[in-house]
Amino acid sequence: MKIVIVGGGAGGLELASKLGKKLGKKAKAEVVLIDRKPTHIWKPLLHEVAAGSLDAAVDAVSYRAHAYQHGFSFKLGTLQGVDRQRQCIQLAAVTDNSDLTSEEVLPAREESYDYLVLAIGSISNDFATPGVAEHCRFLDAPEQAIRFHDKLVSRFIRLNRKLAEGEDQRLHIAIVGGGATGVELSAELLKAREWFATYGLNKLQSHHLTISLIEAGPRLLPALRPEISESVLTELNKRGVDIKLNTQVARAETGALITNDEQRIDADLMVWAAGVKAPEFLQQIDGLSCNRAGQLLVEPTLQVQGDKNIFAIGDCAGFLLATDTLDDGSERQRWVPPRAQSAHQMASTAATNLLALYADKPLISYRYRDYGSLVSLSGYTAFGTLMGGLTGGSLKVKGRIARLTYVSLYRMHQFAIHGWLRVILLTLTDNINRFLRPRLKVH
């Protein structure tokens, strides 16, 4: 039996690690993980990479080394097609563009499978807003977060020089989308300014960094409880973030966002974090169906509708939770939200089902459990709710407890891919590094 998993993110890497341990290591099945990148960074940390509080070079997991330790094999490649009849996938050629000339590293290839798991995540949705693709930055992938960080460093250095020369200047960053990514990035950037000032750019005062957080809806964090939105709004306001609610961006141009009512928001750096959609090529896979967000429709077992040999998990899977009838008689479909906890839970169910297929046993149905939501405002504070299994209801948390719970989500991901012993060692190393290493990546 050969299981091919495409996408080594929050869901795919957990699944590969589990199946590698249960099947690959015992030579019961061949488990192959394919990703377009050689290393893994847990996506919910990308705003920290962007601000510099996390160093991607230090924290990334090498797929190749991880695969060697966990009983699966890793192949570098970008999925670009699925041939369901022949049960194989097509991967694009890999080229090295890092030097003056680009050279082919791996040719375009095919990889056969008995079972295929698609775990390729999601991308930002710019809702076809003119100018956004050209002028805004996205935080979909580590390299985008790293590029943002590099730009942030050079902008801070330049600003510090101008201030030292007596010019009155500011760095203005505009973030579109008042969801968790926009909110958390705002706070990380405020903290980054503090650390840059500490680490030698001593002209930078708090008013030299201005952040606009733009949200089309009436409140921040629409997926969370209103009182959490209110607390976060108060906290960010207190720290000087300019929050613009009920503000729809109509287009982006060089150095500015233009709203529906032709208001101009000038910005040196613009980040688009206003929603996600599944990668578009999934809609072209012959015979498979997608929902409006482009996610592959899956059965309760997480097999895609219409093909029992293909599973989809995480952000690219469309799992219908319920269809609600609204007051006006119209219907609204509720889908499993594109979140790390969904990807984590789906990886567990897919692992159970692939093991069941191996052992010729019945498959189980996926059940989404909402354990709550947490937002971290960098080192300042954190807010959230813990729900269901953990609390038997809904519990509002803030401050240190919320921050510890937030950090524990990453530890749970690390546990799923590394096991307890390594998580204990990694936690110890991280604590030691807090003394040994700078608190912010300032280069």
Ligand X SMILES: Cc1cc2nc3c(=O)[nH]c(=O)nc-3n(C[C@H](O)[C@H](O)[C@H](O)COP(=O)(O)OP(=O)(O)OC[C@H]3O[C@@H](n4cnc5c(N)ncnc54)[C@H](O)[C@@H]3O)c2cc1C
Which residues contact ligand X (rule: CB under 6 A)?
A: 6-12, 34-37, 43-44, 46-47, 78-79, 119-121, 139, 180-181, 279, 314-315, 338-341, 343
Angle of helix 340-358 versus helix 12-19 axis, rounded to 10: 30
Block residue for tokens 């760095």: 171
For ligand X, which is the closer residue by CB, 204 or 220?
A: 220
Q: How far is the CB of 173 from ligand X (least distance, A)?
A: 15
List Cβ neighbours of 103 (8 Å cut-off, separation of 6 or more): 95, 96
Measured between alpha carbons, how far is 67 from 62 in angstroms, rounded to an integer?
A: 8
CB of 399 to ligand X, least distance (A): 17
Degrees (nearest 5) of the Cα angle 256, 257, 260? 145
- Measured from the CB atom, the residue of 87 and 125 that comes closer to ligand X is 125
Give me the helices (H) in 113-244, please.
132-135, 142-164, 180-198, 226-238
The nearest distance, CB 402 to ligand X, in angstroms, is 12
108, 91 contact by CB (below 8 A): yes
In the bound complex, what is the minimum distance in angstroms from residue 73's beta carbon to ligand X?
15
Q: Which is nearer to ligand X, 44 or 197 (CB)?
A: 44
Of the pair 11, 159, the CB lying nearest ligand X is at 11
The angle at the Cα of 192, spanning 191 to 195, to the nearest 5 degrees, equals 90
Counting Cβ atoms within 10 Å, is residue 40 exposed (0-12), middle (13-18) or buried (19+)? buried
Question: Closest approach of Cβ 319 to ligand X, in Å?
Answer: 12
Q: Which helix (H) or strand (E) holds 129?
A: none
- Residue with smaller CB distance to ligand X, 143 or 266: 143
Select 260 or 391, whichever has its Cβ closest to ligand X.
391
Q: How far apart are the first and last CA of the chain?
A: 47
Give me the least distance between CB of 143 and ligand X, in Å please.
Answer: 10
Closer of 180 and 416 to ligand X (Cβ): 180
Contact present, 293 and 285 (Cβ < 8 Å): no
Q: How far is the CB of 101 from ligand X (least distance, A)?
A: 25
d(CA 112, CA 89) in angstroms, rounded, equals 6
